Amino acid sequence: MIDPEAELARLREQHLYRRRRILESPQCVRPIIDGRPMLSFCSNDYLGLANHPDVVAALREGAGLYGAGSGAAHLVTGHSEAHHRLEEQLAEFTGRPRALLFSTGYMANLGVISTLAGRGDTILADRLNHASLTDGARLGGARLRRYPHLDMTCLTALCAETGAKLIVSDGVFSMDGDLAPLPELAQAARSGGAWLMIDDAHGLGVIGPRGRGILEHFGVDEEDVPILVGTLGKAFGTFGAFVAGSEALIELLIQHAHSYIYTTALPPAVAHATSTALDLAVREPWRRDQLARLVRRFRRGARQRGLALGDSDTPIQPLIAGEAWRALDWSLALEDAGILVTAIRPPTVPQGSARLRITFSAEHGEDDVDRLLEALAELPRPDLQSGADASKETP
């Protein structure tokens, strides 16, 4: 059994202790954090919809129509018309026959993977997948084999060796911002007779000409990727998640996914607000265009200043520090300058790859990007050009 005091002491010593900040305003690019106005670059509110007046008004309207909570699981009395309408919208948005709401993205991944694969089955997963994909495989008792990040040669060999039933991958990797190679993943799945599941939490609403995510970006369809997972608390600014797929897949999840069956349904007022957010994401493509402009400006400015960024053209821009103490020092230095960028440390990322995870919102302006660039250029670091000095010992 873990000793709480000893474990907390270890986390502090290794610069891995995490503390919660108190947000005293709506989620936005200029929030009040711990009583102080900040310029934030660490939210997943990519389209700037979390505090959009139309979405807030829809949430109020939904509370008036449906109350504050759902009061029960979907299969009891908790499945509201607001839930049902949003599922139909999400199915249309993703181009799938049906969609199924879950209370969180974590629960969606647990439910899908543990339903489709169990003891005796093998699941193949990218080593940098989100933890919920890994935990879903373990929950169902399947054998989990992880291949090196984006290594399609290794994946193809594992498909042939293991006879895997399911391949799971992030669409946009949440800590690196790079894209899964969907055409190659789909080919590996077809060749091996496996199902392909993509969690496009950070792509839907942002990636693709119409914001339909990484599948639209690569021009692949339901036949290539039969299982699509998305979240509502990132680009769409609200809360919850969904799975989109065939009629049979959705019905199977309704009957067997424990994380759907045995939990209270999402508040219907949130579903009502999400319908408005989804409409805005579709009607206002300028938000995606603004994001793309900001990312280009940031990456151009970073190159000019010799900042070693990861390989990403998405709103997720990692600046690798290497050691946890350095990422934390960088974050605190930015905070002193009134800029909020969270330090991401192990176990969220592998040892030696602690970082600042910089994210952009359509609500940011070009002046905000320039202010961030100037602050980053002032950060103390021994090896600006080549990224982190992973050999340095933690003090």
- Contact, 283 vs 205, CB < 8 A? no
Confidence of residue 232 (pLDDT cuts 50, 70, 90): very high
Rounded to whole angstroms, how far apart are CA atoms 264 and 261? Answer: 8
Verify that 136 and 278 share a domain, yes or no. Answer: yes
- Contact, 111 vs 102, CB < 8 A? yes
Verify that 297 and 278 share a domain, yes or no. Answer: no
Specify the pTM.
Answer: 0.93
CATH value at residue 20: 3.90.1150.10
- The question of whether 80 is a catalytic residue gets the answer no
CATH value at residue 215: 3.40.640.10
HSE (CB half, 13 Å, CA atoms) of 179? 19
Mean pLDDT of 267-294: 98
Active-site residue (options: 52, 74, 83, 202):
202
Rounded to whole angstroms, how far apart are CA atoms 333 and 139? Answer: 40
Q: Is the pLDDT assigned to residue 185 strictly greater than 60?
A: yes
Q: Is the pLDDT assigned to residue 395 strictly greater than 50?
A: no
Q: What is the pLDDT of residue 52?
A: 98
Q: Which of 1-5, 77-81, 183-187 has the lowest mean pLDDT?
A: 1-5
Q: Is residue 387 part of a domain?
A: no
Q: Is residue 2 part of a domain?
A: no
| Range of the structural domain that residue 184 is part of | 53-283
Mean pLDDT of 307-319: 94
Residues 6+ apart with CB under 8 A from 253: 100, 111, 112, 115, 243, 260
Q: What is the pLDDT of residue 134?
A: 86
Verify that 275 and 290 share a domain, yes or no. Answer: no
- The question of whether 202 is a catalytic residue gets the answer yes
Q: What is the pLDDT of residue 383?
A: 53
Active-site residue (options: 70, 174, 275, 331):
174
Confidence of residue 382 (pLDDT cuts 50, 70, 90): low
- The question of whether 275 is a catalytic residue gets the answer no
Active-site residue (options: 234, 259, 331, 361):
234
Last residue of a domain, one of 267, 283, 299: 283
Mean pLDDT of 248-269: 97
